[in-house]
Amino acid sequence: MLVLMKKDHTPENVEGVRKKIESMGFAAHVMPGDHSVAIGITGNRGAIDPGEFLLLPGVAEALRVTREYKMASRDFKRKDTEIVVGGKVTIGPGRFVVIAGPCAVESEEQTLRIARLVKSHGAHILRGGAFKPRSSPYAFQGLGLEGLKILKKASLETGLPTVTEALDHRGLEMVNEWADMIQIGARNMQNFSLLQECGKLKKPIMLKRGMSATIDEWLMAAEYILEQGNPNVVLCERGIRSYDPQTRNLLDLTAVPVIKDLSHLPIIVDPSHGTGKRDKVAPMARGAIAVGANAVMVDVHDRPAEALCDGPQALLPQDFEKLVQSLRSLAQALGVAL
Ligand code: PEP
Ligand code: MN
């Protein structure tokens, strides 16, 4: 249920509605909008009678929200959400953010080298995995805590905030301590207890789409985080499994306008994992800005043949430089800041 207040409501009216909701044993979420205030209700198992609220002073309407996600939905919040990463980079409407870096933190030398390079070509946020979810248990699993410390060092030197993946509860605590945004990878999109732990934090969470998740399932996963109290969720489209082996995944750019319609949350596109092929990354990154994504995240490596993870999809430094230049032209044409 969503309670919409009249334009001329008073703060006492809002308090009255909040108390009423809490007295019913539910949680109230007060959301100031451009014209008035909406108060969302969560925690109810069945439908609530709108009559409970319509007679309270200052209430204009009480709407049933029948979707299985509420706080993630546009019905709940009309205005696009902005998320601030590391106190300096805003992901949200009117601008386009570039996230770049190696797939994995492999060594201090490699990470600092690539961090400097992506910074010099215009990246806003540095990526790099310290905990890697690998299909084979024999593949490089990441440097763990040591990798997080290297990423932090690269961040301090370049001034770029960081995003890195947490694979499990223990990793989540460490990533929360060392990074600016926490990535929940495709394989963990429906790890509900991990999502709930993310919801208890304040740090931005980048929630990647599961490889066979529908958009509704993805938004319900986001709801697990929001509902626990962390409003800082950014979605990331990274491709879904398809039958065609030409690309690693099928990058679903349609998801961007669909998400924009259904949700107020910002959305990032990852064309590196989405295509798995270096030469397909730039065209799809340009597609991402054109369809209204708020950011792209790309793998960059200066020695991809030596990369311990995902070398074939890493952009070379010169490719990345060219990509950012072309994104700047597109941003200008589209009227977004970059
Ligand atoms: C990654 O970004 O490093 C990654 C493992 O991505 P995904 O979870 O989308 O496969
Ligand atoms: Mn990867």
- 10-residue averages of pLDDT along the chain (338 residues): 93 96 93 83 87 95 86 92 98 98 98 98 98 95 98 98 98 98 98 98 98 98 96 98 97 98 98 98 98 98 96 98 98 98
Could you tell me the distance, in angstroms and rounded to a whole number, from the CA of residue 3 to the centre of ligand 2? 43
Count the helix, strand and coil residues of the chain and give each as a percent rounded to the nearest 5: 40, 20, 40
Instruction: Give 118-142 pLDDT, tens digit per residue.
Output: 999 999 999 999 999 999 999 999 9
User: Which ligand 1 atom is the nearest neighbour of the CA of 309?
Assistant: 3
pLDDT at res. 65: 80
Provide the residue count of the chain. 338
Inter-residue contact 118 to 152 (CB < 8 Å): no
User: Cα(4)–Cα(194) distance, rounded to whole angstroms?
Assistant: 33
pLDDT at res. 36: 82
Residue nearest to atom 4 of ligand 1 (CA): 185
User: Which ligand 1 atom is the nearest neighbour of the CA of 188?
Assistant: 8
Inter-residue contact 88 to 71 (CB < 8 Å): no
pLDDT at res. 33: 77
CA nearest neighbour of 184 among 107, 249, 238 = 238
Inter-residue contact 204 to 83 (CB < 8 Å): yes
Could you tell me the distance, in angstroms and rounded to a whole number, from the CA of residue 103 to the centre of ligand 2? 5
User: Cα(101)–Cα(108) distance, rounded to whole angstroms?
Assistant: 13
Q: Where are the alpha helices (DSSP H) in the chain?
A: 11-23, 51-54, 108-120, 145-158, 169-178, 192-199, 215-227, 255-262, 271-275, 278-290, 317-334
User: Which ligand 1 atom is the nearest neighbour of the CA of 103?
Assistant: 3
Q: How far is CA 238 from CA 131, 255, 260, in A?
A: 18, 10, 16
Residues with CB under 5 A from ligand 2 (ion): 103, 310
pLDDT at res. 34: 73
Could you tell me the distance, in angstroms and rounded to a whole number, from the CA of residue 57 to the centre of ligand 2? 54
